[in-house]
Structure 1
């Protein structure tokens, strides 16, 4: 593990003290460049995704910047693949099977990490979501839910997916091109096409398919 500079170490200690004190700090977290064009996570926020690959990409940005992360309720997560996306495994806490205690485990981890990925073992109620959101605001952490989350700050969905590398019955999967939609309340839906990952194993924007905006009516 690379040594932190004095400034980085001081910043990390300050963040830990703020979490312990419940200082209700809100920050915009670092993001992979490909995702930063459509969404950047903010502490205190909750985000819903329908794809594990997309969830890993969301965690990778803060992780590469030195933040701690946690993964709750995802026993099938491929750690080699996660590291390939950029997740720093030495700064990642895993609780594969919390069962019915997923909410308390997630709330506890928000005390010590900046981003928590959770897959709830049961539908999330409005009350549960609000209690955890309050915790996220107090502890300077963000939540990414693999599944539905009431009143999430944004919903990210993979609306189309194509693999490259396979020929007529031969070849190897080399890259995955996906269309991602981002919904934020009544704002226009943003759509972008990403390599998740590309043939170079990196997450990047397909520049031949520019970001699109689609107007939607608020419900």
Structure 2
């Protein structure tokens, strides 16, 4: 004969406490955090929920901003690796200034016709992959399969773009370098206006003004009262208004 233990009825007060804990704002915040990778604090106002959604693509055309965006999730786990595909010499000294550990970075300069396979393989091992835009000859179905790999792996892909259907886009709409005066000196810091847009939770436009980089080589909020004037061509310099 087999004896089976009959569980005692759960204490109603305990069940209510468990339910309140499971639905509390703190618990939901922890659950949401599991689905995102953090960014540097000055960039948090630009991204929904203060982090990059796992399994999504973020498009950042400005190289300095791209490195700053990648530095947050890349440094969140000191044991995690990052990867860069098809980007050549992206300015890794600047990436180190934002806090990225270059000793834990895999660089594939020229993936050639194996772009999709290389990105998919690295996405299985790295929470953050920086990658060039898909080659022109890559079929849309192959891009869709690649995005599926990212989603299943929970990997964030950051690209200078263009990337069709990117979840989040960050654009530098104005910029101004400081340091050079009357034809002499050296560039010390860059003030930028950054705007974000995207799909789903990222659809609401956001903006912030930052020193990127600041005089120490990292990113900090621009708190001065003067504001940058937007320029139609983001490749040109913008003067500080005021």
TM-score range, shorter chain: 0.7 to 0.9
1:17-46 CA distances to partner (integer Å, 9 max, x unpaired)?
xxxxxxxxx621121001112112121111
Counterpart pick for 1:208 among 212, 218, 224: 224
SS in structure 2 of the partner of residue 198 of structure 1: coil
Q: What TM-score, normalized to structure 1?
A: 0.78
Counterpart pick for 2:40 among 32, 35, 38: 32
SS in structure 1 of the partner of residue 179 of structure 2: strand
Larger of the two Rg values belongs to structure: 2
Could you list the structure 1 runs, at least 4 aligned residues long, displaced by more than 4 angstroms after superposition: none
SS in structure 2 of the partner of residue 41 of structure 1: strand
Q: Is 1:161 equivalent to 2:175 in the alignment? A: yes
Q: RMSD of the alignment, in Å?
A: 2.0
**Contact 1:84 1:202 (8 Å CA) reproduced:** yes
Unaligned runs of 5+ in 2: 1-33, 227-242
Match of 1:12 in 2: none
Separation in structure 2 between the aligned mates of residue 38 and residue 125 of structure 1, nearest angstrom: 31
Match of 1:59 in 2: 70
SS in structure 2 of the partner of residue 81 of structure 1: helix
- Counterparts in 2 of 1:15-30, with a 5 A limit? 27-30=35-38
More strand by share: 1
**Contact 2:45 2:206 (8 Å CA) reproduced:** no
Deviates more, 1:192-201 or 1:119-128: 119-128
Separation in structure 2 between the aligned mates of residue 209 and residue 141 of structure 1, nearest angstrom: 38
Match of 1:72 in 2: 85
SS in structure 2 of the partner of residue 173 of structure 1: coil
How much does 1:128 deviate? 3.0
Separation in structure 1 between the aligned mates of residue 76 and residue 186 of structure 2, nearest angstrom: 32
Counterpart pick for 1:131 among 141, 145, 149: 145
Match of 1:171 in 2: 185
Counterpart pick for 1:49 among 43, 60, 77: 60
**Contact 2:133 2:162 (8 Å CA) reproduced:** no
SS in structure 2 of the partner of residue 155 of structure 1: strand
Separation in structure 2 between the aligned mates of residue 62 and residue 125 of structure 1, nearest angstrom: 29
| Distance change >3 Å, CA 115–CA 89, structure 1 → 2 | same
